[in-house]
Amino acid sequence: MAKHLDLEEQEQLDELKHFWKQYGNLITWALIVVLGAVAAWNGYHYWQRSQAAQAAVMYDEVERAAASGDATRVERALADMKERFGGTAFAQQAGLLAAKTYYDKGNIDAAKASLEWVAGKSADEGYQAIAKLRLAGVLVEAKAYDDALKQLSGAFPKDFTALVADRRGDVFTAQGKNSEAKAEYEKAYQGMDDRTEYRRLVEVKLNALGVNPSATLPSTAAVAAASSASVTEVKP
């Protein structure tokens, strides 16, 4: 009996050797690829965490410099951050903060450059939108109206649609194009929630153009109710 088992074990061993001889290299390389991919994935996430941590430290430096009003120090810290961590969200936040510091100090060109960098380099649509809106405002003050409208063209995230319309209204108002300004302000007014404080400012702008939106335009709630009723009517 023992001899019979030994023969079976020997046969199994021979089969195993044959299998390994035929497929061993393939299995080994497959394992190397899988383990290498896992190591690369873990390494990438570690690198990302490391980058984010270092970028956060540098953002704190930009923030402290901005709080102290030291524009030169802000510029130096931001330049270092762009070079080392330009692709991080902290760098985009630093760019927006630096632009405000430059603007407050009267350095309009530096403010524009910082906002243009965020608008052009940020991978986050929200930061891009904020930068474009602020840049358009700066350009309006510089009377560069066509450039301001260019910043407000193209696609924007849905949450920014009303703010973009409001800014377009500002551009048209500055140009004396009141009809176009009214149309944009009305879009902005309709696109904002009734409870939004900024909506009141848009209402003031419309009032200045001779429009009372609360009397001539349906409220957001009314539009939503009408839309809901319409949907209900078409249901079988």
**Whole domain around residue 82: which residue ranges?**
44-144
CATH number at residue 205: 1.20.58
Q: Which residues contact 188 (CB under 8 A, 6 or more apart)?
A: 162, 163, 165, 166, 169, 202
Residue 88 lies in a domain: yes
Gap between the Cα atoms of 3 and 121, Å rounded: 76
**Could you tell me if 130 and 190 lie in one domain?**
no
**Could you tell me if 89 and 174 lie in one domain?**
no
- Identify the domain boundary among 117, 144, 171: 144
**Could you tell me if 190 and 138 lie in one domain?**
no
**Could you tell me if 100 and 137 lie in one domain?**
yes
Instruction: Determine contact, residues 171/185, Cβ cutoff 8 Å.
Output: no
**pTM listed for this prediction:** 0.69
pLDDT (tens, 9 = 90+) of the chain, 236 residues, equals 445 546 666 676 667 666 667 766 766 666 565 655 555 444 434 445 666 677 778 888 888 888 888 888 988 988 888 888 877 888 889 999 999 999 999 999 999 999 999 998 877 889 999 999 999 999 999 999 999 999 999 889 999 999 999 999 999 999 999 999 999 999 999 999 888 888 999 999 999 888 888 776 555 445 444 444 433 343 43
The count of structural domains within the chain is 2
**Could you tell me if 140 and 161 lie in one domain?**
no
**Could you tell me if 124 and 174 lie in one domain?**
no
CATH number at residue 49: 1.25.40
Gap between the Cα atoms of 132 and 127, Å rounded: 9
Residue 233 lies in a domain: no
Q: State the sign of the Cα–Cα–Cα–Cα dihedral 77, 80, 83, 87.
A: negative
- Identify the domain boundary among 144, 165, 198: 144
**Could you tell me if 139 and 50 lie in one domain?**
yes
